[in-house]
Amino acid sequence: MKRPVLLLLPLLLVLSACEQLGIDDPAKVAAAKEADGKAIGSACRHAMRAIEDCYVLNPKAQKAAVYAGWRDMDEYMRENKLEGIAPVVPRPGAKPVVTEDAADKADEKAEKAEKPADKAKGH
């Protein structure tokens, strides 16, 4: 009766060392992917991005986890009356947003480029 227990003991020791050998546990991998998705969703909501933008910017993330993170952050921000931050990275395919300062500088450059042409016409 003791022999089967003694034979199983080394087998259990070998199987318990799988993590030390670098073999991933499927449950831990799934939990990590879900946590990453929730973090992505939370960050998207805090950056005032629509959930659809979040999906487009993170195609490999689990959509359900991204949505759960986005929803949790939305609830948290509403409860605590927090404002989001403006996103820095534009949505793929979107036209870049031009600020007033950038528009003014562009107008100044255009005026400077026109002045030499005006002088050439007058002389």
Residue 44 within a domain: yes
Is residue 88, in this structure, part of any structural domain at all? yes
Tell me, yes or no, whether 38 lies in a domain.
Answer: yes
Q: Please indicate, yes or no, if residue 43 is contained in any of the structural domains.
A: yes
Task: Specify the DSSP element, H or E, that contains 118.
Answer: helix 100-122
CB 92 within 8 A of CB 57: yes
CB 38 within 8 A of CB 56: no
Q: How far apart (Å, rounded) are the C-alpha atoms in residues 3 and 17? A: 23
Closest by CA to 69, choosing from 54, 57, 86, is 54
pLDDT, one tens digit per residue, over 44-97 is 999 999 999 899 999 999 999 999 999 999 999 999 999 988 877 776 666 655
76: in domain: yes
One-letter amino acid for residue 108 of the chain = E
Find tokens 């107008």 and name the residue. Answer: 107
Whether 55 is in a domain gets the answer yes
Domain count, the chain: 1
| Range(s) of the domain holding residue 117 | 24-122
- Specify the higher pLDDT residue, 74 or 120: 74
Summarize the confidence of residues 18-46 as an average pLDDT. Answer: 86
- For residue 58, tell me if it sits in a domain: yes
- Give a yes or no: residue 79 inside a domain: yes
